[in-house]
A and B are shown apart, each in its own frame.
Chain A
Amino acid sequence: MTIETANPELTASSAPIIEIVGMHKWYGEFHVLKEINLTVSRGERIVICGPSGSGKSTMIRCINRLEEHQRGQIIVDGIELNDDLKRIDKIRREVGMVFQHFNLFPHLTVLENCCLAPIWVRKMPRKQAEEIAMEYLERVRIPEQAKKYPGQLSGGQQQRVAIARSLCMSPSIMLFDEPTSALDPEMIKEVLDTMISLAESGMTMLVVTHEMGFAKTVANRVIFMDGGQIIEENDPETFFTNPEHERTQLFLSQIM
């Protein structure tokens, strides 16, 4: 059992919440992920970067089984992922995901987007779900948009709604797949600020992003992927100032 504590640094070093051991994945003949080993502790914030096509999205999508892996183990919160639908459902309830293109439900209002899963998956009474949704919408600072439809919001607002929608399921892990790369520059900050405040609340986060400023201030660890492998894994300080691998150096020189 983990010990309840206010200090995220302390919890971060205790129990692993995600364990990926010797994981491989193929798309047909194409070997997209090779020998992935990764352990994430409760409360840890991990940034994953790497060139396009290196398998970052695929890796985090394996964690909530949007993609299947073919070899190795993925254990989330003590539950090993396999074909068992019950386990998959259970894990998806625990793991929130934020996508590059927001993927809000355009036919539902912002509030309905947020309430849907708590009502239909967690069987929460509508009134309670709405109260919780409003709380989270306040946390991402858009409660006044609750009655609007996603199509009426800016990209940055939509992404903050997407974050609130995931949080309404009170997940213990949040996955972010390039949450700011579809946004206009002036909107990136509002989304990053939301993510920073989420990090401060002690959420376990895996973030695929090229926002190196975010990585430096928020991450406990930075992972560099290339060609379907984890090439380098380090604390942000070392990662940015003194990368071990040539490929990491090359990548950093290209994006910074």
Chain B
Amino acid sequence: MITKNGSLPDQPPPTNSIGVIGWLRRNLFASVLNTLLTFLALYIIYLGIVPAVNWVFVNSDWVGDSRDACSSGGACWVFIAARINLFMYGFYPEEGYWRINLAFAILVLLLVLLNIRQVPRRGWIAAFTLIGYPIIAFYLFYGGAFGLTVVDTHNWGGLSLTLILSGVGIVASLPIGVVLALGRNSQMPIVKAASIVFIEFWRGVPLITVLFMSSVMLPLFLPEGTSFDKLLRAMIGIVLFESAYMAEVVRGGLAAIPRGQYEAAKALGLNYWKSMTLIILPQALKLVIPGIVNTFIALFKDTTLVLIIGLFDLLTTIEAGFKHVSWLGFAVEGYVFAALIYWIFCFSMSRYSQNLERKLHTGHAR
């Protein structure tokens, strides 16, 4: 039918191409083979899911305080519940748990504030989170001021140690990585060469070697009698290692910024540092959010390697838990619990990054 002005009227799309029915037809039952595969896949999922659900929920034991409570044949979550303090706090003295809880509570509060649009002066909160908070957290964890007793770092452990290592790694490696990436793009030959050597050195060695060297070899080079905290050494190793990776991620972002952006900034009279911080980096970092978060996630999981130098992170405390005589044989529960915790953190970071990308999106064209 042609309307008066000669154009065809809009019509609704055919019903079998839209909605749930349309989706099912297109994706699951498009042809005979497709339908067969759909049922086959459903069957395989069924085979895997049923025993897993039985093990985790139906036949599992949740209450009790020793292995005798675990008699149903499924998972023994009693083990996790009984040793949860070890997994969360390591060997931190029990009367000091509140200090760790408080430190993380403050962090969560700050992060929540930072992500609420209506909160005023978020710039200051961000600055406090990056500069003031680490100092407060250090005194809460370590003590030695405000009447808090000193808790030496070899007592730190569990999830809180994992979070400290990855938190420090994340917060320090991004700015160092940015500086290295700028250095690698620099016009000054010495700065450029130094950045390249640094990046390529740290990217060329496995993290496990870095940690091992920091723990075994570094003391050999230091003057006799100087002791250098093992945790601090591990942190420095992780930060240097990860910032080399971060530098390359950021460099990818810098390379994607069109030359016109640099030129427009110059033409307006902005100097190098102002064009970088106001124009180029905000765009470059936004472009590589997925890469940055990817590096963060890798870093978070890489912290498990500190077990080789005798630090007790989450995974190591869990292993220590099921190697104890009273809980021998509950390795599977331990590993499943570890996997769940790591997955929750990594998945949250991944979702947050997608959220951030959407929030920072400013229109279709560049």
Contacts and interface: CB of A to CB of B under 8 A. Distances in A.
Interface in A91-105: 92-93, 95-97, 99, 101, 103-105
Counting chain A CB atoms within 10 Å of each CB, the highest count among B258, B264, B265, B363 belongs to B264
A96 B282 CA distance: 23
Interface residues of B, number: 24
A151 B270 contact: no
Contacts, number: 76
A16 B201 CA distance: 56
Given A92-B266, A116-B268, 16 more contacts: A64-B267, A92-B267, A96-B267, A101-B258, A103-B258, A103-B261, A105-B264, A106-B365, A107-B282, A116-B278, A116-B279, A121-B274, A150-B362, A151-B362, A152-B362, A166-B267
Contacts of A166: 267-268
A185 to B, nearest CB: 19
A169 to B, nearest CB: 6
Going nearest first, the 7 A-B pairs with the smallest beta carbon separation are A151-B363, A103-B264, A103-B260, A117-B268, A149-B362, A97-B267, A92-B269
Contacts of B360: 107
Contact of B270 (A99, A117, A165): A117
B268 A66 contact: no
B117 interface: no
Contacts of A121: 268-270, 274
A107 B362 contact: yes
Contacts of A103: 258, 260-261, 263-264
B263 A89 contact: no
B366 interface: yes
A116 B280 CA distance: 13
A150 B286 CA distance: 16
Contacts of A152: 362-364
A120 interface: yes
A92 B258 CA distance: 20
Contacts of B266: 64, 66, 92
B283 interface: yes
Contact of B274 (A95, A107, A120): A120
Interface in A146-171: 148-152, 165-166, 169
B260 A99 contact: yes
Contacts of A107: 282-283, 286, 360, 362
Contacts of B265: 105
B269 A169 contact: yes
